[in-house]
């Protein structure tokens, strides 16, 4: 019997598998597709934008360099971070196709955004992400089986079982990472609620006979929206109330008719090489756990891909769940730790659904949509407006309510640097939490007595003066506790017990 069976070897299932493997759990991943490669995962249709929060997750697990290389992105992670000071974003992104100006971001309002290798998002593609994560998972001893379609789930107090093709795969926990049409979600009885679609979207790789008729970039038009990120790659949204039958492959004639309608041109598609459809249906399960079955990624929440948040939210789920599930498997999790997964991540999923709905509202090709666009354009013309958007798009808005008023607690930890040059992100590769102690001049690297296998101890002076005496960082990089100049040892130990369990004797 495995500790954990993960259903689905998409990016979220694989990220979670790595987290659990890193924490010493035995993990089996069951994937329906016989092959991991697919033209839908390669460029151009497989292109995905990773937020700074996701880039940070790869950085903290020592995978950022490989990810950048596999994605064809220049890697300056080893460059001197002082060269980047002060932090100035190079790109922000867009809201409903309205592109934001990075020069408008008020960096003074973001004091915890420290220079480091993971300050900004990046473009990648699913093939690069999945190949890297699969290789990492194999190295960590994860068993990944392809061509296995899970069709039944059973559970009792002791065990959860995934059934596929006459085989039973028993584990202490089953996690459904099986995407937007998740089988696990329905089989385990999760309630899935939300709003109906307003549009059908299409993404295609096509040859355009008269490409001068389409402009590059985003275009909100009186009849919809189209986006041309590169020659041959077109995405478009048709406000048809989600009427297109998505069990059908969209034909060239259909795609051409939609493109003509939303672009307002008589453009001709001479060949469609690859195409798929999506909608803005926005739905979320009411909980992410039922007994011994959990959900993560698109299995737990779906929404339109506008503004690229689905994969990022799923990676956030995996980072949040991995160490909590591992602590539960190993038996040292404090009471209720696993339930903090839903408590922390469900509001984030709900926020992302609303963010996507707000963009759909602003894109509607009618007087209501144009009125919202006008308001948004006014707002993003201001520093506060662009800074707010930057926080939403980069993931910097994410803060869990951990019951402390300290502005850092519940947020992703800044990439603090010690006088010896060590950066927090580099200290997190083994998946342990980190206790940073800035109250001494001596540089020390070790383990926290009592929590040695779960908590690294690093002492020294910080190069970044954030008026902190000590910080407790959870294995997912979230600040669990922060102390002033003279750290309060008792408060620190209470926080360590609350998140990492009782000390070892
Ligand atoms: C056009 C488009 C553009 C997008 N752009 C972005 C972007 O820029 N940024 C971003 O963050 N997000 C983006 N997204 C969303 C992102 O792609 C998804 O949120 C992400 O891929 C979800 O990952 P996942 O692992 O949860 O699910 P999936 O990637 O769907 O993986 C699920 C896996 O489970 C397997 N599976 C399904 N059923 C079973 C079963 N019964 N048994 C076994 N295995 C099963 C599937 O074969 C699949 O491999 C975009 C989406 C689209 C459609």
366-422 tens-digit pLDDT? 999 999 999 999 999 999 999 999 999 999 999 999 999 999 999 999 999 888 888
For ligand 1, what atom is nearest to the CA of residue 201?
Answer: 1
**Three-state DSSP string of 265-306:** CCCCEEEEEEEEEEECCEEEECCCEECCEEECHHHCEECCCC
d(CA 66, CA 504): 36
What is the pTM (predicted TM-score) of this model?
A: 0.96
Averaged pLDDT, 53-77: 92
Among candidates 62, 15, 11, which has minimal Cα distance to 325? 15
d(CA 502, CA 306): 43
**How many other CB atoms are found less than 10 A from the CB of residue 114?**
23
Q: How many CA atoms within 13 Å lie on the side-chain side of 474?
A: 28
Averaged pLDDT, 479-492: 84
**How many other CB atoms are found less than 10 A from the CB of residue 420?**
12
Measured in residues, the chain has a length of 505
Is the minimum distance from the CB of 278 to ligand 1 under 6 angstroms?
yes
State the distance from the centre of ligand 1 to the C-alpha of 51, rounded, in angstroms. Answer: 16
Concatenate the DSSP letters of all residues of 290-358 into one string.
ETTEEE-GGGTEE---TTS-HHHHHHHHHHHHHHHHHHHHHT-PPTTTTHHHHHHHHHHHHHHHHHHHH
Tokens of 102: 């990075």
324 in Cβ contact with 296 (< 8 Å):
no
Whole-number pLDDT of residue 79: 62
**How many other CB atoms are found less than 10 A from the CB of residue 66?**
16
Is the minimum distance from the CB of 149 to ligand 1 under 6 angstroms?
yes
d(CA 215, CA 218): 8
Q: Are strands 293-295 and 167-176 parallel, antiparallel or unpaired?
A: parallel
Averaged pLDDT, 209-231: 91
Is the minimum distance from the CB of 12 to ligand 1 under 6 angstroms?
yes
Preceding omega of 181 cis (within 30 degrees of 0): no
**Three-state DSSP string of 198-250:** CCEEEEEEEEECCHHHCCCEEEEECCEEEEEEECCEEEEEECCCCCCCCCCCC
87: pLDDT strictly greater than 90: no
For ligand 1, what atom is nearest to the CA of residue 183?
Answer: 41
Averaged pLDDT, 264-281: 96
Catalogue all structural domains in the chain, each as residue range(s) with its CATH number: 10-72+124-194+282-337+351-361 (3.50.50.60), 79-116+364-398 (no CATH), 200-279 (3.30.70.2450), 424-500 (3.40.30.120)
State the distance from the centre of ligand 1 to the C-alpha of 130, rounded, in angstroms. Answer: 11
Is the minimum distance from the CB of 304 to ligand 1 under 6 angstroms?
no
Averaged pLDDT, 114-139: 94
Query: Residues near 66 by Cβ (< 8 Å), separated by ≥ 6?
Result: 132
């Amino acid at each position: 019997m495995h500790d954990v069976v993960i259903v689905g070897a998409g990016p979220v299932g694989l990220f979670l598998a790595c987290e659990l493997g890193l924490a010493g759990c035995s993990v089996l991943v069951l994937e329906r597709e016989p092959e991991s490669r697919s033209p839908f995962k390669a460029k151009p249709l497989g292109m995905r934008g990773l937020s700074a929060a996701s880039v940070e997750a790869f950085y903290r697990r020592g995978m950022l360099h490989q990810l950048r290389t596999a994605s064809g992105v220049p890697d300056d992670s080893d460059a001197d971070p002082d060269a980047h000071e002060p932090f100035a974003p190079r790109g922000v992104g867009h809201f409903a196709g309205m592109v934001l100006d990075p020069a408008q971001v008020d960096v003074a309002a973001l004091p915890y955004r420290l220079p480091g290798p993971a300050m900004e998002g990046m473009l990648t593609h699913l093939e690069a992400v999945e190949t890297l994560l699969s290789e990492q998972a194999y190295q960590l001893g994860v068993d990944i089986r392809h061509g296995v379609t899970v069709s039944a789930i059973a559970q009792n107090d002791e065990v959860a079982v995934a059934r596929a093709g006459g085989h039973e795969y028993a584990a202490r926990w089953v996690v459904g990472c099986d995407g937007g049409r998740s089988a696990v979600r329905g089989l385990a009885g999760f309630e899935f609620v939300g709003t109906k679609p307003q549009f059908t979207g299409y993404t295609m790789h096509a040859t355009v006979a008269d490409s001068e008729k389409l402009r590059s970039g985003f275009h909100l038009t009186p009849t919809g929206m189209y986006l041309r990120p590169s020659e041959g790659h077109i995405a478009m949204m048709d406000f048809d109330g989600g009427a297109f039958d998505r069990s059908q492959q969209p034909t060239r004639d259909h795609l051409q008719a939609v493109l003509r309608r939303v672009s307002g041109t008589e453009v001709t598609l001479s060949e469609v090489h690859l195409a798929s459809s999506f909608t803005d249906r926005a739905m979320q399960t009411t909980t992410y756990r039922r007994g011994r079955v959990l959900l993560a990624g698109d299995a737990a929440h779906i929404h339109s891909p506008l503004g690229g948040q689905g994969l990022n939210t799923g990676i956030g789920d995996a980072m949040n769940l991995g160490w909590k599930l591992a602590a539960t498997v190993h038996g040292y999790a404090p009471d209720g730790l696993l339930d903090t997964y839903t408590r922390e991540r469900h509001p984030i999923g709900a926020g992302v659904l609303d963010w996507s709905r707000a963009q759909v509202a602003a894109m509607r090709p009618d007087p209501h949509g144009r009125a919202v666009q006008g308001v948004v354009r006014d707002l993003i013309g201001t520093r506060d407006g662009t800074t707010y958007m930057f926080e939403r798009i980069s993931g910097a808005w994410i803060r869990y309510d951990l019951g402390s008023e300290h502005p850092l607690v519940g947020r992703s930890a800044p990439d603090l640097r010690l006088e010896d040059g060590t950066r927090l992100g580099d200290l997190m590769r083994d998946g342990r939490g980190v206790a940073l102690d800035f109250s001494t001049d001596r540089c020390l690297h070790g383990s926290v007595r009592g929590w040695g296998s779960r908590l690294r101890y690093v002492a020294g002076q910080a190069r970044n003066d954030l008026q902190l005496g000590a910080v407790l960082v959870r294995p997912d990089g979230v600040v669990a506790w922060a102390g002033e100049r003279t750290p309060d040892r008792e408060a620190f130990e209470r926080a360590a017990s609350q998140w990492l369990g009782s000390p070892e004797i």
